[in-house]
Copies of this chain bind each other. A is one copy, B any other.
Amino acid sequence: MSLQGNAMIGQSGGPSIVINASLVGAIEAARDIEEIETFYGALHGMDGVLHEQFIDLFREDHELVERIRYTPSSALGTCRLKPTDADLERCMKVFKAHNIRYFFYIGGDDSQLACHRLSELAKASEWDMNIVGIPKTIDNDLVITDNCPGYGSAARLAASAVQFVARDAEAFGNCEVIEIMGRNAGWLTGATQVGRQEDRDAPHLVYLPEVTVDPDKFLSDCHEQFDEWGYLVIAVSEGFAFAESEIPTTSAKVDEFGHARLGGVAEALADMVEEELGVRSRFDKLGNLQRCFAYAASAVDLDEAYAVGESAVQRAYGGESDVMITIQRKSSEPFVFECEDTSLTSVAGETKVVPPDWLNEEQNGVTAEFVQYARPLMTGRSEPLPQDIPHYPRFQKHLIQPKLGEYERD
């Protein structure tokens, strides 16, 4: 039995190069479903739900929507909001006031948890609605799914950047340390090894948050690689620390979830290498570029992102709820996948780290199996880039009238 009423979608957490493809996949699937009367886009994710800041996605020009599919970052806006119980109760009120029968949230494991708690609340208050989470994280750390939309493009950027910067280091005979996002999981950093075709190619050493390395072993590895190739490129996750945590890898600042803002490990390692090897050592942080640098978009990633958005709407319409869409890999070459789903409780609060047997024995690189896993996800697009500096569209934003009073968060 399919529900009749309105649908709502939001984007949450760090944007990605392909998160709008998921949004557009959902919009285009919803257009075909008669029972979905209006499709609300919540501005800035849950923040927009709480404050009834919605736009009517069905009124957006279809050609514009198709262009937004290829626009990096979150076209609806995003938030980093950890909802309280009161926030979730308010969401339910908003859903009821606007006759929301389908809710979709594109995000990482925090967002999936919020979806699950909303599912429970809807059930408890006997409000018939279907809630489906849409996976998005460049960190690739959601469990069960083969990979997360957002990862392939960020991995393509990181691996490309390492190849480019490596040539600069090689030309000088320098050491270069490149810092890549990843607090607990080294999927992005490991993927930089996909670009290494010959032994003399970068990255020569790769350090993930999953490993604990002795500083002396680190320096002797640096010596060995530098002596061999006359230059040295190290890829390191922002969350990497030595066994003894001897280097300062975190700053004093915290983010909205109370997590320490990371950063600084590349600089610290570069300083160590410069002092020990007497070689000029530089560092670069890919920083926010990893989430938005659309020149590095992966064609496979864009397809996956669109598919999970589309599948979420179709499955919710088919009666699924309290689930997240997953990617199932059917073949690696050529890359073929299908969308499936899994219960939200199976993914919320879980982190998929790189398995120990995908790390090399020396703990300074990944195995061929890792490379085979990641490579197909990092496939470039076959169209040329825009010749001008790219300019991306924004939604027209036809606002929906609020129905409740103002809301103040505690």
Spell out A's residues near B (CB within 8 Å).
11, 14-15, 44, 71-75, 77-80, 156, 159-161, 163-165, 167-168, 170-173, 176, 194-195, 197, 201, 282-285, 287-289, 291-296, 299, 378-392
Contact = CB atoms under 8 A, between A and B. Distances in A.
A11 B295 CA distance: 28
Contact of A73 (B44, B167, B389): B167
A390 B163 contact: yes
Contacts of A80: 172
A383 B384 contact: yes
Contacts of A287: 282-285
A171 B389 contact: no
A391 B14 CA distance: 30
Contacts of A75: 171
Contact of A289 (B79, B284, B387, B391): B284
A160 B195 contact: no
Given A74-B171, A282-B288, A163 B392 contact: yes
A197 to B, nearest CB: 5
A14 B169 CA distance: 10
A161 B380 contact: no
Contact of A384 (B289, B382, B387): B382
A342 to B, nearest CB: 27
B161 A293 contact: yes
Nearest to A76: B171
26 contacts: A11-B171, A15-B171, A71-B167, A79-B172, A156-B389, A159-B389, A161-B289, A163-B391, A163-B392, A164-B294, A165-B288, A167-B292, A167-B392, A168-B288, A195-B391, A284-B288, A284-B289, A295-B296, A299-B387, A380-B387, A381-B384, A382-B387, A383-B384, A384-B384, A384-B385, A385-B385
A197 B391 contact: yes
Given A78-B171, A156-B389, A161-B293, 15 more contacts: A71-B167, A73-B164, A73-B167, A73-B171, A77-B170, A80-B172, A160-B389, A164-B293, A165-B289, A285-B285, A378-B389, A379-B387, A381-B385, A383-B384, A385-B385
A356 to B, nearest CB: 25
